[in-house]
Amino acid sequence: MFAYLKGAFTHKTPTSLVIEAGGVGYEVHISLNTYAKVESMDKGMLWVQFIVREDSQTLYGFAEKPEKELFIHLISVSGIGPNTARLILSGMTPDAVNEAILNEDDISFKRVKGVGPKTAKRLIVELKDKVERISIAGGGVIPTHSSNTTRQEALSALVALGFQRAQIQKAMNKASGALDEEADTEAWIKASLQQLTGQR
């Protein structure tokens, strides 16, 4: 029904804001991640998702479209409602959520109130393929780094060598501390390979 709202932010709290669009004030529920981006703004645009329940009609807003898309993925998982999804996106950035899914890091999700061990594992199982497909397609919701281009080229090369994407992500995260922002693709591959061969 709604894709986005654009207008003045007439009232803001860390969990919600009112945006005036076309003379109407819309109350929108937001994550702490979105609040951090709009806190200093008097006006702007929010991507929104309209959730209809038997006893409520609620708007959830996001400063960036990838966060909205991730929110939609999260609420598609049984046991995760809109408020729990918002809690996940308040305690973790969208980049961190995607990395946790790819790395099968259920511990990060179990730290979120309302997410138990079974739900955390179900979240990873149901969303991992979706996140991987977005990553391969270059959809823009996978973590970005200052050396993103060379890092992604190295990741693709290592995938072609037969390593698992989750393995590679872990290895790259460990290797990143020894590399500067200007590291080329070859440097990323060598450093990551050292970590990967150490894992085996």
For residue range 10-24, list pLDDT tens digits in order. Answer: 999 999 999 999 999
User: Please, which pLDDT band fits residue 91 given cuts at 50, 70 and 90?
Assistant: confident
CB 115 within 8 A of CB 84: yes
* Model confidence at 145: pLDDT above 70: no
As given in the structure block, the two tokens for residue 114 are 């309302």
Least confident of 30-34, 138-142, 147-151, 176-180: 138-142
Contacts of 22-30 with C-beta under 8 Å, sequence gap 24+, read 26/59, 27/59, 28/59, 28/60, 28/61, 29/58, 29/59, 29/60, 29/61, 29/82, 29/86, 30/60, 30/61, 30/62, 30/86
- Looking at residue 76, what DSSP letter applies? T
DSSP three-state, residue 136: helix
In the CATH hierarchy, which fold is given to the domain comprising 148-199?
Helicase, Ruva Protein; domain 3 (1.10.8)
What pLDDT sits at residue 181?
66
Q: What is the pLDDT of residues 177-187, one digit of tens each?
A: 788 767 888 88
* Model confidence at 134: pLDDT above 80: no
Angle in degrees, CA 138, 139, 143, rounded to 5: 80
Query: Which CATH architecture is the domain 65-144 placed in?
Result: Orthogonal Bundle (1.10)
Average pLDDT over residues 16-45: 94
CB 59 within 8 A of CB 2: yes
Strands in the chain per DSSP E:
4-12, 16-21, 24-30, 43-53, 56-62
Least confident of 58-67, 132-141, 184-193: 132-141
Q: Find, among 128, 137, 92, the residue nearest to 112 by Cα.
A: 92
Average pLDDT over residues 171-199: 81
> Alpha helices of 138-182 — where are they, by DSSP H?
148-160, 165-175
Q: Is the pTM of this model over 0.85?
A: no
Structural domain boundaries of the chain?
Answer: 1-63, 65-144, 148-199
* Model confidence at 175: pLDDT above 60: yes
In the CATH hierarchy, which fold is given to the domain comprising 1-63?
OB fold (Dihydrolipoamide Acetyltransferase, E2P) (2.40.50)
